[in-house]
C-alpha cells in the first residue's frame, strides 16, 4: 500500500513543473491522480467519478489573474476535499452524551480518554462511563485513563444504576465506553440498543481503525442501519497508509468523520477537517498561499455582488469587459436593463485610455484605491504628476468609477447574477 500523502505530494510537484496544459497534458494529470488514489486503496467508482469531474471542469477558462496551473490544482484540491468528506462537520462544545461503539480493539477505550482530554481542554467538565462488561480488566483500563486525564469515572455499575448516578451530572460531557465484538452480531446490536435506550446519548460515534481502508464503508453502513450512528472516529491514522481510503469509504457510507486518532497518547486526537487534511496531503505550504489567493478573489466577488467597488476591482472589470466587446451589447442582452438607463457608453474605454488609467491607479495609495472618493484636488494633482497623466484624465477615471458604482447599486440581485453569469464583469471573481 502506498501512502496517499507521499504520492500526492509528488504529483503536485509534477504539476508545478509543467509548462503547458493542453488537453493531452491534463489527461495525463488525471491519469496520474487516478493512479495515486487507486494505489492508496480508494474506491474505484469514486476515483472514476472524481476523474470525470476534473476532466469536465478543467475545460473551463480560469478566472482573470489565475493561471491554468493554479486553477487545476485548486480544482483537484476541491474534488479531493469532496471525496474525503466535504464540509467540516460540527463538534458540540456544550455538555452532552457520547456513546462509543465499535468492534474489538478498534480503539474505543483509548478514544474515550482522548475525548475526555479534548473536552477538558475546551473547558468542559467531563465524566467517563465504563459499559464494557465482557472484556477482562476493561474497567481498570478506563480507570487508568481517567486518572491520567484527571476526570471522574463511573465504572462497573449496571446500566440503570449508572443512569441514576448521572442524573446529577448533566453539566458534564459524558463519554460512554462500550464492549467490542468480532462482528456486529445480534448480541452486540441488542447490547448497544439497550445502552442507547437508557442513556439516550446525543452522539453515537462508531470507532473505526484506519487500516480498514475500503472495508470501512460496509462497517459504517451496517452500524448506521443497526444503531443509527451520528458520526465516526477513525483511529490509528498514524499507523497505516490506508487512512485516506478509510475516510473516503466513510464518505461513501454517508457517515461523518468527527475525529482522527493520530497516536497512542491522550493528546493524539484531531478534529477532522477535510480541507486541512487535503492541504496536508498535497503539501500544505504551497497550497496555502494559493488558497489565500482564491480567498481574496472570493471576497472581491462578494464585494462586487453587494455592489461594493474599489478601484482595483473596477480596473479588472474594465479589462474583462474590453475582452468581451462592447459593454452596451452585453447589457442590452439582459432583460430589464434597458429601463435602468445605465451609463454604459462611458465604460466602453479604448486601449490607450486603459493604459493611462492603469498608471493612474498604480500611483495611488492603498487607501485611495479602496476609497477613491477621498481623491480630491491636491491628491488628484499628486496622482496626475506621479502617473505622468493629465489632471483631466485622473478626473475622468474617478468619474467613470463613480458611474460604474452607481450602475451596480441599481441592479437587483437577479440582474447582478445574470450580469455576472454572462462572462462579463465579475466572471474572474469566481461568482
Ligand atoms: N498508534 C495508534 N494506536 C492506537 C490509536 N488508538 C488506539 N490505539 C491502540 O489500539 C489498541 C486498542 O485500543 P483500545 O482503546 O483498547 O481498543 P478498544 O476498542 O477499546 O478494544 P476492546 O475494548 O478490546 O474492544 C491499543 O493498543 C491502543 O493503544 C491511535 O490513534 N494510534
Ligand atoms: Mg475497550
What pLDDT is stored for residue 361 in this prediction? 92
First to last CA, the chain: 40
Residue 248 counted as domain residue: yes
pLDDT grade for 49, boundaries at 50, 70 and 90: very high
**Pocket residue to mutate for ligand 1, from 105, 240, 242, 259, most atoms within 8 A of Cβ:** 105
State the Cα–Cα distance between residues 429 and 305, nearest whole angstrom.
10
Centroid of ligand 1 to alpha carbon of 263 (angstroms): 9
Query: What is the CATH number for 54?
Result: 1.20.120.140
Question: What is the Å distance from ligand 1's center to 56 Cα?
Answer: 43
At which of 83, 117, 148 does a domain end?
83
Indicate if 277 and 401 belong to the same structural domain: no
Task: Report the atom number in ligand 1 closest to the C-alpha of 141.
Answer: 16
What's the 113 CA to ligand 2 centre distance in angstroms? Answer: 11
Choose the final residue of a domain: 19, 53, 83: 83
Q: Is 178 in the same domain as 38?
A: no
Of 60-74, 150-164, 365-379, the one with minimum mean pLDDT is: 60-74
CATH number at residue 125: 3.40.50.300
Task: Specify the higher pLDDT residue, 413 or 233.
Answer: 233
pLDDT band at 422 (very low <50, low <70, confident <90, very high): very low
Q: Are residues 162 and 271 in the same domain?
A: yes
Is the pLDDT assigned to residue 68 strictly greater than 90?
no
Please tell me whether residues 129 and 251 are part of one structural domain.
Answer: yes
Is the pLDDT assigned to residue 310 strictly greater than 90? no
Tell whether 114 and 245 lie within a shared domain: yes
Residues 10, 117 share a domain: no
Contact between 131 and 109 under an 8 Å Cβ cutoff? The reply is no
- In a domain? residue 294: no
Whether 157 maps to a domain, the answer reads: yes
Distance 107 CA to ligand 1 centre (A): 3
Alpha carbons 391 and 389: distance in angstroms, whole number: 7
Of 83, 114, 145, the residue at which a domain comes to its end is: 83
pLDDT of residue 423: 37
Ligand 1 lining (C-beta closer than 6 Å): 102, 104-110, 132, 135, 138, 180, 235-236, 238-239, 261-264, 268
pLDDT at residue 285 above 60?
A: no
pLDDT at 183 over 60: yes
Q: Are residue 78 and residue 101 in the same domain, yes or no?
A: no
Q: Which domain holds residue 315?
A: 307-429
Decide if pLDDT at 123 tops 70. Answer: yes
Q: Is residue 232 part of a domain?
A: yes
pLDDT band at 114 (very low <50, low <70, confident <90, very high): very high
Is 104 contained in some domain?
Answer: yes
Same-domain check for residues 74 and 111:
no
Q: 55-59, 148-152, 356-360, 410-414 — which is least confidently predicted?
A: 410-414
Are residues 186 and 78 part of one domain? Answer: no
Q: Kindly give the number of the ligand 1 atom that is closest to the alpha carbon of 263.
A: 32
Q: How many domains does the chain have?
A: 3
pLDDT bracket for residue 276 (50, 70, 90): confident
> Based on the domain organization, do 79 and 184 belong to the same domain?
no
| CATH classification at residue 339 | 1.10.260.30
In ligand 1, the atom with minimum distance to the C-alpha of 104 is: 25
Question: Does residue 361 sit within a domain?
Answer: yes
Regarding whether 104 and 222 lie in a shared domain, the answer is: yes
Residue 289 lies in a domain: no
pLDDT (0 to 100) of residue 66:
80
351 plus 387 within the same structural domain = yes
More confident residue, 95 or 299: 95
3-state secondary structure the chain: CCCHHHHHHHHHHHHHHCCCCCHHHHHHHHHHHHHHHHHCCCCHHHHHHHHHHHHHHCCCCCCCCCCHHHHHHHHHHHHHHHHCCCCCCCCCCCCCEEEEECCCCCCHHHHHHHHHHHHHHCCCCEEEEEECCCCCCHHHHHHHHHHHHCCCEEECCCHHHHHHHHHHHCCCEEEEEECCCCCCCHHHHHHHHHHHHHHCCCEEEEEEEHHHHHHHHHHHHHHHHHHCCCEEEEECHHHCCCHHHHHHHHHHCCCCEEEEECCCCCCCEEECCHHHHHHHHCCHHHHHHHHHHHHHHHHHHHHHHCCCCCHHHHHHHHHHHHHHCCHHHHHHCCCCCHHHCCCCHHHCCCHHHHHHHHHHHHCCCHHHHHCHHHCCHHHHHHHHHHHCCCHHHHHHHHHHHHHHHHHHHHCCHHHHHHHHHCCCCCHHHCC
Taking the centre of ligand 1 as the mean of its atom positions, its distance from the CA of residue 187, in whole angstroms, is 22
Amino acid at each position: 500500500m502506498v501512502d496517499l500523502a507521499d504520492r500526492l505530494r509528488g504529483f503536485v510537484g509534477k504539476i508545478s513543473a509543467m509548462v503547458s496544459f493542453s488537453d493531452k497534458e491534463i489527461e495525463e494529470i488525471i491519469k496520474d491522480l487516478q493512479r495515486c488514489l487507486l494505489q492508496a486503496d480508494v474506491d474505484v467508482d469514486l476515483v472514476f467519478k472524481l476523474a470525470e469531474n476534473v476532466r469536465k471542469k478543467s475545460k473551463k477558462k480560469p478566472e482573470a489573474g489565475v493561471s491554468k496551473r493554479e486553477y487545476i490544482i485548486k480544482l483537484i484540491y476541491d474534488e479531493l476535499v469532496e471525496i474525503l468528506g466535504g464540509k467540516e462537520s460540527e463538534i458540540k462544545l456544550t455538555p452532552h452524551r457520547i456513546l462509543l461503539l465499535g468492534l474489538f480493539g478498534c480503539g474505543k477505550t483509548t478514544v474515550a480518554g482522548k475525548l475526555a482530554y479534548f473536552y477538558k481542554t475546551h473547558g468542559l467538565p467531563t465524566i467517563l462511563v465504563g459499559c464494557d462488561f465482557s472484556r477482562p480488566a476493561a474497567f481498570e483500563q478506563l480507570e487508568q485513563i481517567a486518572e491520567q486525564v484527571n476526570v471522574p469515572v463511573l465504572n462497573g455499575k449496571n446500566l440503570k444504576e449508572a443512569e441514576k448516578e448521572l442524573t446529577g451530572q448533566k453539566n458534564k460531557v459524558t463519554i460512554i465506553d462500550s464492549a467490542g465484538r468480532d462482528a456486529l452480531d445480534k448480541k452486540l446490536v441488542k447490547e448497544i440498543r439497550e445502552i442507547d435506550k437508557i442513556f439516550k446519548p446525543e452522539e453515537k460515534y462508531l470507532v473505526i481503525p484506519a487500516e480498514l481502508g475500503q472495508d470501512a464503508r460496509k462497517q459504517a453502513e451496517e452500524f448506521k442501519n443497526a444503531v443509527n450512528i451520528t458520526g465516526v472516529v477513525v483511529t490509528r491514522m498514524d499507523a497505516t497508509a490506508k487512512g485516506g481510503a478509510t475516510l473516503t469509504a466513510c464518505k461513501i457510507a454517508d457517515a461523518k468523520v468527527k475525529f482522527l486518532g493520530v497516536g497512542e497518547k491522550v493528546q493524539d486526537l484531531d478534529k477532522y477537517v477535510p480541507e486541512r487534511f487535503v492541504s496536508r496531503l498535497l503539501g500544505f505550504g504551497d497550497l496555502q498561499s494559493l488558497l489565500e489567493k482564491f480567498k481574496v478573489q472570493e471576497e472581491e466577488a462578494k464585494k462586487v455582488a453587494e455592489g461594493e467597488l474599489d478601484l482595483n476591482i473596477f480596473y479588472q472589470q474594465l479589462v474583462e469587459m474590453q475582452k468581451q466587446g462592447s459593454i452596451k451589447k452585453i447589457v442590452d442582452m439582459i432583460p430589464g436593463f434597458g429601463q435602468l438607463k445605465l451609463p454604459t457608453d462611458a465604460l466602453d474605454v479604448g486601449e490607450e485610455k486603459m493604459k493611462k488609467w492603469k498608471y493612474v491607479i498604480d500611483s495611488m495609495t492603498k487607501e485611495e484605491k479602496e476609497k477613491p472618493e477621498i481623491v480630491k484636488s491636491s491628491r488628484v494633482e499628486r496622482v496626475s504628476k506621479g502617473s505622468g497623466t493629465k489632471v483631466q484624465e485622473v478626473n475622468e477615471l474617478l468619474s467613470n468609477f463613480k458611474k460604474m458604482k452607481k450602475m451596480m447599486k441599481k441592479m437587483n440581485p437577479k440582474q447582478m447574477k445574470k450580469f455576472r453569469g454572462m462572462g462579463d464583469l465579475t466572471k474572474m471573481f469566481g461568482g
